[in-house]
Chain A
Amino acid sequence: MIVDSGGANIASLRHALGRLGVEARLSAKAADLASAERVILPGVGAAGNAMRRLREAGLDAVIPTLRQPVLGICLGMQLLFERSEEGGVDCLGVLPGIARRILPDEGLAVPHMGWNQLQWPAPHPLLNEVAPGSYVYFVHSYAVPPGGCTLATCEYGSPLSAVVGQGNFFGMQFHPERSAEAGARLLRNFLDLEPCN
């Protein structure tokens, strides 16, 4: 089940899941989410606007109560954290940390846009059969600094959280649906995660 958050990447995400043999449903209804096997929260745009949409649909209260695997992608990942500096909005708060503006550093452009490499200190089922150093495709201006729930990082001036996870909540800052083989494998790994209780 993909949360219908109105983002422009929903079509790409559905196609990516389709290539993995999964026909994802799209819904913004609390009851649909609660009964879904897995939930993906995509997101493109601004944090304030995205949180408002979730609140209007009553999903801000439902998502934190979900027990099935939940994956936030790009802005969707940032929404899982406590707060975003983008508009200073409170987010869902299921993961500890704050999304902060990427500060332009000597010659580094913001948004961080393009292919960049993943690194991680310890294996995780979400990273199965993905080679360290794999390139994935990023497009973002805010990032969560590495913290306790960071599973993989990427260097852009300084390290930032690229893959996160704690309990049943996971996130990818990049776009797995636009990240060729590595992205497809990461999505496959999410689909293969055992539902946790």
Chain B
Amino acid sequence: MVKGVRFRDHEVVGGILDLARRYRDEGADELVFYDITASPEGRSVDRDWVARVAEVLDIPFCVAGGIRSVEDAEAVLAAGAEKVSVNTPALERPALIEELADRFGSQCVVVGIDSQATAEGWQVHRYTGDPQRSGPAARHTLDWLREAQQRGAGEIVLNCMNADGTRDGYDLEQLARAREQCKVPLIASGGAGSMDHFAEVFRKAAVNGALAASVFHRGNIAIPELKAFLRESGIEVRI
């Protein structure tokens, strides 16, 4: 299970550290920190908070947002992050995935894909952190998923935008199709609203992890209860 923490600049780092500690104490297996304003503004994530998070966290965490180069990734990994996640910059320059995998190994390189169901099928979107610029990237989701792996992605986070924020459940159909094309760990994102949704996505789409943010932030689901529920449902989880 992966916990996403989305934040923008104005949120104080103290808030991030408190959240990080809280989710770690509750049993999250991994945290993903999304600096969602990084890419649209053309700047990289500010490194200082990464080191401070690394100081308090003893579980793996991933940094997403504005990683555009080997140097950006190096700073974040040296500060203590386990992985970096690339999304828009990889769409603009796919060789970035190879460069990161060559330098740090595929296990450090997550490719995040924001996918929208359209009349032409599932399409990749970019700049999703900025409503003004967010738009189609002129790529089919499953094509990009295959290409990202060929280029060295060690993990794929597939965010199904139609489901995102609905709390109606993960997009099982899309995730199951993605699973067929995905030889590396696949993490489901978008749509979690109940504990059953988590059980369902592990069972029906055979994903390796499920990411959720709002249900945890709002306190609708508590991680310890969720993990106990999943274990009772026969899904292997760390407790």
With beta carbons under 8 angstroms apart, the residue of A111, A135, A137, A178 that contacts B106 is A111
Give the docked Cα–Cα distance between A44 and B29 (Å): 21
Minimal beta-carbon separation of A119 from chain B (angstroms) = 15
Stretch at the interface among A23-31, A122-130, A179-187: A179-187
Q: Is B82 an interface residue (CB 8 A)?
A: yes
Q: Are B78 and A179 in contact (CB under 8 A)?
A: no
Q: Are A8 and B185 in contact (CB under 8 A)?
A: no
Q: Are B78 and A11 in contact (CB under 8 A)?
A: yes
Is chain B's interface secondary structure helix, strand, loop, or mixed overall?
loop
Q: Are A113 and B80 in contact (CB under 8 A)?
A: no
Number of interchain pairs (Cβ within 8 Å): 56
Q: Is B183 an interface residue (CB 8 A)?
A: yes
Q: Is B238 an interface residue (CB 8 A)?
A: yes
Contacts of B24 in A (CB 8 A): 180
Q: Are B82 and A178 in contact (CB under 8 A)?
A: yes
Minimal beta-carbon separation of A175 from chain B (angstroms) = 8
Minimal beta-carbon separation of B131 from chain A (angstroms) = 34
Most buried by B among A19, A115, A179: A115
Interface size on B, residues (CB 8 A): 25
Q: Is B191 an interface residue (CB 8 A)?
A: no
Stretch at the interface among B12-20, B53-61, B163-171: B53-61
Q: Are B58 and A179 in contact (CB under 8 A)?
A: yes
Q: Which residue of B lies closest to A184 (CB)?
A: B58
Q: Is B184 an interface residue (CB 8 A)?
A: yes
Contacts of A183 in B (CB 8 A): 58
Please provide the chain A residues from 1 to 45 with a CB less than 8 Å away from any CB of chain B in the complex.
8, 11-12, 15-16, 18-19, 44-45
